[in-house]
Amino acid sequence: MRYFKRGILSVHKNIIARLFLFLLIIGYLVPEKLIIPVECASRKDWNKDSFWHYPWGKSVTHKGVDIFAKNKTKVLAPSSGILIAKGYGAIAGNYIYMLGPHWHIYYFCHLDSISSNPFLVKQGQVIGFVGNSGNAAFKQPHLHFSIATIIPYIWKLDLFDKQGWLKMFYLDPNNYLL
């Protein structure tokens, strides 16, 4: 009986491992062609040098870009994916985390408001509105947008820059919002 149980368990482990590998590969097969996540915005609406700018308050370095727009401009899902979390934080203000292709996490913050939407979102779907909530209060409304990868990109490790090891996880949006 013990052997039988152990056998079943190892079969389960095998299935889970295969399923995990399958999902991992699927995540990379889905093409990631992003749109700029603010309605009518172009690459001129953010400072490309602001990525990894130092010093940047409590964050030390700036791990994303700030896309400037009028208050309450629509924030769009840059790809299709899954909205995994939303909430409010003292620094972030209204924020959203979204899972997109390639196991990338998109992070949006300082939103004026978050539109109630389903779990799954389509590319271009309105997920919120630009604002200056959190520590962006009294600043010009903008969307802080970051792209992180769950699977670390070890080759991005940068030992010569401030918090350079975190570059394995935070990707430069300039290279994705084309």
Query: Which stretch, 33-41, 69-77, 83-91, 141-149, contacts Zn ion (CB under 5 A)?
Result: 141-149
Out of 63, 86, 104, 144, the only residue in the binding site for Zn ion (CB under 5 A) is 144
Q: 63 or 104: whose CB is closer to Zn ion?
A: 63
49 vs 30: CA distance, rounded Å? 29
Q: Between residues 91 and 99, which has the closer beta carbon with respect to Zn ion?
A: 91
Count of helix runs (H) and strand runs (E) in the chain: 1, 10
Decide if 126 contacts 111 (C-beta within 8 A): no
Decide: residue 17, CB within 10 A, 0-12 exposed, 13-18 middle, 19+ buried: exposed
Nearest CA to 147 out of 93, 108, 110 is that of 108
Question: Which amino acid, residue 1?
Answer: M
Q: Which is nearer to Zn ion, 104 or 144 (CB)?
A: 144
Strand order in the sheet with 74-76: 74-76, 126-129, 113-114
Q: Which of these ranges, 59-67, 69-77, 118-126, 158-166, lies near Zn ion under the rule CB under 5 A? A: 59-67
> Shortest distance, CB of residue 144 to Zn ion, whole angstroms?
3
H or E stretch at 122: none
Q: How far is the CB of 91 from Zn ion (least distance, A)?
A: 10
Q: Is residue 63 within the footprint of Zn ion (CB under 5 A)?
A: no
Residue 66 sits in the site that holds Zn ion (CB under 5 A): yes
Distance in Å, CB of 127 to Zn ion, minimum: 17
Q: How far is CA 156 from the centre of its chain?
A: 17
> Cβ 81 to Zn ion, closest distance in Å?
21
Residue number of the CB closest to Zn ion reads 144
CB of 53 to Zn ion, least distance (A): 9
Residues binding Zn ion (CB under 5 A): 66, 144
